[in-house]
Structure 1
Amino acid sequence: MTTNLIQTDIRYSGPPSTATAVESRQVAIPPILIRTETVSLKLLPSGQMSSSSPPGVGIAGKGLESEADGTWMWAASTHLGTPLGFITLCPKATTTECNSSFGPQLEFVCRRDAAYVHLMPKVIGVLIDWLRIHDICMVLYTDHAETDEQLAKWLIATGFLYTGCRSSQGKRQMICLLS
């Protein structure tokens, strides 16, 4: 799924500058806001990642206590401001039980209400498009519980593929090639 970024509003905290990417290349600083006609992603400042989440979403995912690793976290919402969830991008490569190393890892905590499930592929797609356009990384990694069919459908719709590996917790591992 490719989102039309021509109609996307992307805002930065200041003039876009460069930082060292996860693969030691120079890349753009993450945007503080990515907005389309239906969804928006707002970058959460350091210190807000572990705070309580908006109603209907639940607590932001595991591993967010350590922000020193350069993790970026966006709060996703509808164009009307209804919270949809969080997406985090951890820049560290992930090594699996199959001894495979994958690039930066995406994690998701999101609403499952029937009224909003159709928006999550758009949210994931917007972020993937931004990462692709700015050449942030070549591969994204994520995983999902065996029983989480909804997240699996969203990931497949946005270009993720199964690796054939499972984590020690039985999660199915997926990658998305951005190049």
Structure 2
Amino acid sequence: MIGIVNYGAGNIFSLTAALQRIGVEYGMINQVTDFDQYDRIIIPGVGHAGAAMKKLRETGLVEDILKLEKPVLGICVGMQLLTACSEEGNVELLDIFPLKTLHFDERIQLKVPHMGWNSVRAENDCPLFQDVPDNTYFYFVHSYFIEYSKQYTGAVCEYGLRYSAAIQKNNFYGVQFHPEKSGKCGETLLLNFSKI
């Protein structure tokens, strides 16, 4: 059963609708004791990383997230929160991954935000992408990206430069795109996470 961290910065409706479609049970994590009810955790997120981190700290859940040994999936800003810091608000984040979240604007000549469908290629045998063909298109909406790291990358994408579309470290995973808005392949990814 999946627990969704409910901290006021996530697009929870689309995510819960996708989990319902694939028949995965879920519930909301509003306080520390709720973690015990679930065997997998999703941290959703939309909007500003600095604001999202502030809201997450206000819940009092940060220390317990850092201690989790269950599989954890960050989606979009939820993935960025797993990195060390973000140029969005120049804020320190959870620092589970020793990576930076950077702004596209000064680094590419393309339109920002990166919005729409783009192809993703799995790396490092990331279990999220089992039965997902290489170069599958997923749905993105973001102005900030996670720097590419061979060690931690679970999948890559290119938009003016190569960056990590997915990351993995021990029990922690993240995806920059929105699997809940990415059709059947997005549902496959969520189903894979439910089985990790």
Fold shared, TM-score > 0.5 on shorter chain: no
Q: Which has the higher helix share?
A: 2
